[in-house]
Structure 1
Amino acid sequence: MEVELKLLVVDHADRLGGSELLPDKGKAVRQRSTYFDTADRALSTAGVSLRIRQAGTDRTQTVKSSATSSVGLFSRQEWEKPADGDLPRIDGETPVADLVEPSQPLMRVFQVDVTRRIWNIRADDSQIEAVLDRGDISSGDRRTPVCELELELKSGKAAPLFDLARKLDAMAPLRLAVLSKAERGHRLTQAQRGSIKAKTVPLSRDMTAAEALQAILQDCLAQFRLNEDLLLDSRAPEPLHQARVALRRMRSAFSIFKPLLGADQARDLRDRLGRLSKELGQARDLDVLMQRADPGPLRDRILREREAAYDHVTEVLQRPETRALMLDLVEWLNCGPWLTESTIADQRAQPARDFAAGALRRFRRKVKKKGRHLANLDDAARHELRKDAKKLRYATGFFKDLFDGKKERSRQKAFIGALKKVQDKLGALNDLATAPQLLDRLGLSGDSDSAVLLARGRKKSLLSKAESSHRDLIDARRYWK
């Protein structure tokens, strides 16, 4: 079992070798790794990679199972043996034999060529191997660069990995890696996605509440990091939106799992996530506003403001504080005091399904109470209701796999459908409420075109529909009993 912290080197990789932390140039090795899979990608679908690596005249066959990988910190089973040729040999010692039918031929899918430099570091009582890989991944005529740093724990505790990573980040900017080289290689063979939406978190009934929280936050972190990279490359609206969704999901997870958490550090992380989301908010607001504006001077002005807002987004994402937040989250999630604090031991050990049912009841009560007389609420109260409805929606998504009975699935679908309608109406009302403030900041509040844009909200109709949708939600049968 290997445990390693994987980081992408954003810039200045040459500063690492020969530094005070990595005091020599490191042992340099040229490596070529060829990855194999079946035509229908049976191995990658199961989270398994199979490669033949050549370094000089030596060849090694390696199988890795990445089912337990999390963002940045990879903990994987690994099987390794000498290879006597360029093609892999399948035996019963690894998961490959169970995934590949004898009639399914293995084929070369992609290749990784890197120059690897290796350092062995003693940090406190831990032994760490630092590996810097620079090169590229190729599949046919497609190619993507590789410049990543792996800090592998050989012995001792994991905390020194994070201390070393922070010191190295001060020399050369480092971002958490979400994908292994194998996963990057498989993505290279596919059409690039414009954004990464939230998916169902794979939870099981035998999980504890603490294990469920770890799985959920790892999923949210992965969604943020993947969209962050897409956003920096494209400055497109959808990855920005999904990056903010990931941040809201993380903050909601902190609220949902509050009974499990040590107060001070968890609150600090949640607040920092909130500040980051707010920094990205103006660009998202302008994207929404621009969708409602017709071609003309108003839209042109919004577009100019949008470009400036995206410049700010790029600057924020490149700050050391943003990289530090992601690293702090991974460390807290895997090594934080909440995992050992005796006063919350019972809450951590609670079955995930029992915890989920309690959380769903709690947030449904909030939405029911705050939504009374919805049409008469002011904008601030309606915004609070909208936030609680979002938390309830995220909770239903987080815990979806824990309620998998036939009747539960049917009721769950109806409940989520009703909840989505409430969210849609509250979201439209929120856009209507915030648009005047945004137009005022742009100095356009008196513009005739902006008056037309605001009139499209149909507030009275939206309020009536929101109130009706809220009644339908409260009447929907609960599936978590």
Structure 2
Amino acid sequence: MRVAARSERCPAPARSRVYERLVTVHGPEGLEVELKLEADADGLDALAAALEARGVRFATRALHARYFDTPEGELRRAGLSLRIRRSGDVRVQTLKAEGAALGALLARPEWERAVEDDTPVLDDAPEAMRGALPNGAVHALAPAFSVEVERRVGAVLDEAGGIEVVIDRGVVRGDRREAPVAEIELELTDGTPAALFALARMLADAAPVRLGMLTKAERGYRLLDRAADKPVKGAQAAIAPDAGTGEAFAAIAGACLRQFRLNEDLLLRAQDPDALHQARVALRRLRSALSIFRRVVADNRFEHLRGELRWLAATLGEARDLDVLLARTGRRDALGEARAAAYARVAEALGSVRARTLMLDLAEWLAVGAWRTAPADAAAVARPARDFAEETLDRLRRRLKKRGKDLRHVDDETRHEVRIDAKKLRYAAEFFAGLFPGDKRKRRARRFIGAMQDLQAHLGDLNDIATAPVVLARLGVAVEPAPAHDRERLIDAAAEAYDALMGRKRFWR
């Protein structure tokens, strides 16, 4: 039986310049391009009502899906998901492959075929899947988790393009655990990705929506990993070896956006200090990426987005500073009230239209911003990412080498500037490490980044000692200053970490 490609099930998208770029990056055929939004149950009903007011007519049906993998999770490791979905008596098997995300915009190859029962049929599976499974592993495929949703499906057709609208409400179950699903997917069937964001903004006016970052497969695997309530650390962006600088930036910034959103969801559910920390780290990494790539991506929206990220990072930073002070001083009696107020301001900011709009603005800018569609310097956007990485890492290392060479004898303000330089170099090294393959380079990258982490940790402790009295005085809290010998010990440790870093070989050369 022949595998049905996505392009055989819906009209071929119009091949605009932007869409061609997406196809070039993610694959020529069988491509699913979608934007996912999340809302609560009342929000989903409001969104459906807003669409119906525009003439959209929904068909509703119950869907039951089983996702399959081997006990070792070989499909997941290969970036694949396999499901059989049942609606009534009809069963459809779907295989999806990972595609690089442009912010919140997903572009993934997928293949479908009809099946008779809940047993996967792989005799005509794509090469990507056959290569993922070792000999005999096909017989080891077993149900991993299930998804049950009530689905409403409609279509928006206008001059901007064609979009299939899918509203899902239900539950993911796995390993005797479950998690709710409440999302709306906007899938492009005709036109350009800009049409998805235009519709998303209309929906944002109808009900509070947030960018959705998790596929249903990811939700299921997170249940199996018991990771749904754990803070999410930054992950290395997947950058193709032959990627251009613009593509690399979109992948890096998209990974930062994803890290922020996943931790934001946890932070909205509970005042988790680790989730707050990781959300702040995500914003810090994103702001560093904007700085590193500024010459390439600065356009008419750049400064506005940069300013909004600064606002949000500052709001989270106030609460994080108090968490650090509490851990350092133990003065919950004196700092508890201020911390509670800071967390209340975080919740207010995250719940605001301003913050939700910022996330949508960022996602749209990463996917179809002017820096992509009408760049001031097209050659810079298309320049090989590896060349840009080598030049950037050399420049940032030279700056740190110059400023940090006398750490034992400079003032606190200078050490703070060195800390910022070190942080930017560390993030750049983490962003670009994947562009330099080979076992030797990987070992050098691990050692270089490890040395960066040591230096950053010592400089961070020194910065905390320097800023704590100012924060405490503002709150009217009297605390004994850190002993001088502690400060001197940290300065010596930072200087030694700096020397060790400068002695590390550059993994990019």
Partner residue in 2 for 1:55: 87
Partner residue in 2 for 1:106: 141
Cα 1:416–1:45 shift into 2, 3 Å? closer
1:136 is aligned, of 151, 163, 171, to 171
> Aligned pair 1:451/2:486, yes or no?
no
Using the size of structure 2 for normalisation, the TM-score is: 0.88
Distance in 2 separating the partners of 1:456 and 1:149: 57
Partner residue in 2 for 1:86: 118
Is the partner of 1:170 in helix, strand or coil?
helix
Q: Tell me which moved more, 190-199 or 19-28.
A: 19-28
Is the partner of 1:254 in helix, strand or coil?
helix
> Aligned pair 1:284/2:320, yes or no?
yes
Cα 1:125–1:202 shift into 2, 3 Å? closer
Partner residue in 2 for 1:67: 99
> Aligned pair 1:157/2:188, yes or no?
no
1:3-82 map, 5 Å: 3-10=33-40, 11-19=42-50, 22-23=54-55, 26-82=58-114
> Aligned pair 1:216/2:249, yes or no?
no
Cα RMSD (Å)? 2.1
Is the partner of 2:371 in helix, strand or coil?
helix
Amino acid at match of 2:118: D
Contact 2:99 2:106 in 1 (8 A): no
Partner residue in 2 for 1:420: 453
Is the partner of 1:458 in helix, strand or coil?
helix
Contact 2:400 2:422 in 1 (8 A): yes
Q: Tell me which moved more, 24-33 or 78-87.
A: 24-33
Cα 1:25–1:440 shift into 2, 3 Å? farther
1:348 is aligned, of 372, 381, 384, to 381
> Aligned pair 1:258/2:294, yes or no?
yes
Contact 2:56 2:155 in 1 (8 A): no
> Aligned pair 1:470/2:505, yes or no?
no
Amino acid at match of 2:49: G
Shift of 1:140: 4.9
Shift of 1:70: 4.7
1:43-442 map, 5 Å: 43-94=75-126, 95-100=128-133, 101-103=135-137, 104-192=139-227, 194-294=230-330, 298-442=331-475
Deviations 1:213-251 (A, max 9, x none): 111111111111111112222311111111111111111
Distance in 1 separating the partners of 2:94 and 2:446: 43
Is the partner of 1:386 in helix, strand or coil?
helix
Deviations 1:321-370 (A, max 9, x none): 11111111111111111113354111122211111010011111221222
Q: Tell me which moved more, 243-252 or 306-315.
A: 306-315
Partner residue in 1 for 2:28: none
Contact 1:18 1:24 in 2 (8 A): no
Contact 2:145 2:173 in 1 (8 A): yes
Aligned length: 473
Amino acid at match of 2:120: P
Q: Tell me which moved more, 420-429 or 67-76.
A: 67-76
Distance in 1 separating the partners of 2:106 and 2:238: 17
Shift of 1:291: 0.8
Shift of 1:372: 4.1
Distance in 1 separating the partners of 2:66 and 2:444: 47
Contact 1:71 1:221 in 2 (8 A): yes
Amino acid at match of 1:214: A
Contact 1:110 1:185 in 2 (8 A): yes
Shift of 1:86: 2.3
Distance in 2 separating the partners of 1:157 and 1:407: 42
Distance in 2 separating the partners of 1:398 and 1:46: 22
Cα 1:291–1:172 shift into 2, 3 Å? same
Distance in 2 separating the partners of 1:118 and 1:465: 60
Using the size of structure 1 for normalisation, the TM-score is: 0.92
Unpaired stretches in structure 2, ≥5 consecutive residues: 1-30
Q: Percent identity?
A: 43
Deviations 1:177-219 (A, max 9, x none): 1110111012112222521112333334322211211111111
Q: Tell me which moved more, 378-387 or 142-151.
A: 378-387
Distance in 1 separating the partners of 2:495 and 2:419: 12
Q: Tell me which moved more, 124-133 or 392-401.
A: 124-133
Shift of 1:253: 0.7
Amino acid at match of 1:7: L
Shift of 1:431: 0.3
Shift of 1:457: 7.8
Is the partner of 1:264 in helix, strand or coil?
coil
Distance in 1 separating the partners of 2:160 and 2:453: 51
Amino acid at match of 1:5: L
Contact 1:111 1:138 in 2 (8 A): yes
Distance in 2 separating the partners of 1:68 and 1:475: 35
Cα 1:78–1:457 shift into 2, 3 Å? farther
Is the partner of 2:71 in helix, strand or coil?
coil
Q: Tell me which moved more, 455-464 or 375-384.
A: 455-464
Contact 1:18 1:25 in 2 (8 A): no
